[in-house]
Structure 1
Amino acid sequence: MENLTKDLSKLKWGQHYTSVESFFSIISTSKIRLTRSEFLNDPTDTKISNIFISKFTKVHREEIEKMVKQIGGEEANVVEAIYHKAPIEKYLRFILNHVNIYVMALTRDVDAIPMWNYYGRGGMELSLDIPGFVKDLSSSLDQNGRALIGLTDVTYVNEKMDLTNMELPERLGNFFLRTANEKDIFSKHEEFLKRNNFDTSVFDLTNVGQYTTYFINSYIYSLRYLALNVKSIDSEMDAETIFRTVYNNDLYIKEKYAWKSDVLLFFLMLSAALKNDSYNFEREIRIVYFNPSLDSTDILTNKYDVKMLQGQQYIRPYIELPIPHIAENIHRITLSPQTENLPIDHHAYLDVIQDFLRQHDFEKIKVDFSKRKIRW
């Protein structure tokens, strides 16, 4: 796999295959749609991380029970009672049910038949300057909000794999995640911890099994701290209240335990980064948007359209972000091979597309037909 790097200047072009309708919308509005992850073409996409970690906790249940006792110390019975009320696998489900993740897909493959077949049938391939595009997209984020834009290579997995054998394409600290004001969240936190001689080992993790152990350990320590030090949770509370308290504590934590926030944010990144290996031919890069806040007033409102999947129509939620300088960040537009089968002269169609672009100030972009010949 060609690894991404948070130094986006080392990246160049990514291809976005899209329908005619979506292309028309992008050019007409200078806005891009990111689809809520549960409504992608493969609806299991963002559930894979939860499936893996839930399997991991079942296999290692005894070790986790020992971990709870050890971390609980003299008050182990208190921590155990809370953990049994609010176990880690249910906590992960709580996070994914309360934080919506939105995705835009790119690929490294240019003029690729499988991508035309699945995503660009009759549509277009946009060759995007990734550094410029991500910078432009990030500028649309609320300056005072907590919304994040991430960029990650997809890691292809199958449900039979063992977490302990799964390697990330980068160390955790190299994953690209930013807000409107902070260009590189993980590096900022890592540098802060190093500067104060605090533990930074979490940022060196490359194995998903090791990361999961770190996550579980962090969760149990938070249970102990909130139960025994702050006394804000107890075993009489319902599980959702415990989860919400732990989540908000870890998301906004400061000083030497600031890495807890990174462990949490990375789980959301990982949820978007894992995909079934049936699709490994796609060589996909994902642009990811999410707002980790649980405060509904801080969340971007969904928009909706109607899509068809496997012969059935459904209402799909998405968000729309402005990309005011997108014309500067599209290197080339390629028209699908299928356009050659339109019931009009295909050269006339090329003229129409170029005129459409000119009317929206995209006149400098090169437009051409795919070089592929496809029988459909």
Structure 2
Amino acid sequence: MDNNPIVNNSDMNEAHRAQLLKIIHQKELQNEICSRAELAKMTGLTQASITKIVASLIESGIVLETGIIKGSGNRRAIGLKLNSEKNCVIGVKFSRYMYTVGMFDISGKFYEQTEVEFDITDDPIIVLKDIKKLIREYLDKNENVVAIGMAVPGPYLKNEGHIAVVSHMKSWHDVNFLKEFENEFDKPFFIEQDANAGAMAEWWFGNHKKPMNTLAYFLMGEGVGSGIVENEKLLFGKQGAASEVGHISIDYRGPRCECGNYGCLELYCSTRVMLARAKEALPSIFTDKKHKRIDDYDVIFEAARKGDGAILDIMKEMAQYIAYGCVTLINAYNPDIIVIGDVISKAGDILLPQIKRIVEERTIPELFSQVDIMMSELSVDPTLYGAAAIATDRVLGKPSEYLTAK
């Protein structure tokens, strides 16, 4: 144990700064303004300590005073908020066929994004070079960026910096994302698994009922995965690959997965599988060869809404497998809420009633009655949003290290 009082006091002060910033941030997400008196009440710190810490945060350009607000007991108080516009973050989403770069501020406000499709057979070196170039363009446009967050497909091994397995992207297995990005820019760079990023976005920005103990984010896109947030903290496991529901076997006699298992959930209900089946069952609906891949999914969902029998059969089977995944999440983590996100969330009106019916049939009644199952309603891609949320969470956790005076 380090008994150096100077070091310990410094660490304690930093912990208190981080605590106050996260409270102010959470209040803003609830459209509320915080006062010094409220911070003292919520933290147990003395009014003198709060005054001193807040003064340092204002001097550093991290916090602003908003003017007079009504405090407890109808007393007048001065409101506090984050200096969000002067502290922005870049979010980066890397998926199997597209990468997206977006600009946010630390309050979660979204400004803009750029999507670029690539072919999975493209040389990773070229794709990585293009991603870095786009990030630099965003940095050049905004001098107030304090950090960059990136979400990559799972299972992502945090300590080693690479993805353990990405279906149909063998050329990417040896790419070390940490080595590629952590020292590439003059801003701190944080990398997280896509489902974990989506879970953080839903926890912070999903406007779900609070208090909430555990949220499960069920990513349903080109890959299948899940992220678990419990009391604001992500569940990582030993190497960062916890809650990989996409590689749970639902048929031990099923086809071999690239992960080495048989009959993995991802082999039955990823949107990649859905698209392949739809093109085989009804090729005539895919008439525009210049479509982006995401547009092809919209074509499928529209055909289902119009009542096409072949497509409806595919969607019915998708709902069944998604429900199996939800049952697994309920039995493993007993969450308050399961949020289904990524591409498949656009088809909530088609899928959700069937999903809930099957989950109810296959779940212990007492558990089912206490869990909400819903599609993501975020206006921004949860994985991209989550990449920015990861960066925000890290910089607010160490404000003296990452947030500098403006």
Q: Same fold (TM over 0.5)?
A: no
Please report the TM-score for the alignment, with normalisation by the length of structure 1. 0.27
Please report the TM-score for the alignment, with normalisation by the length of structure 2. 0.25
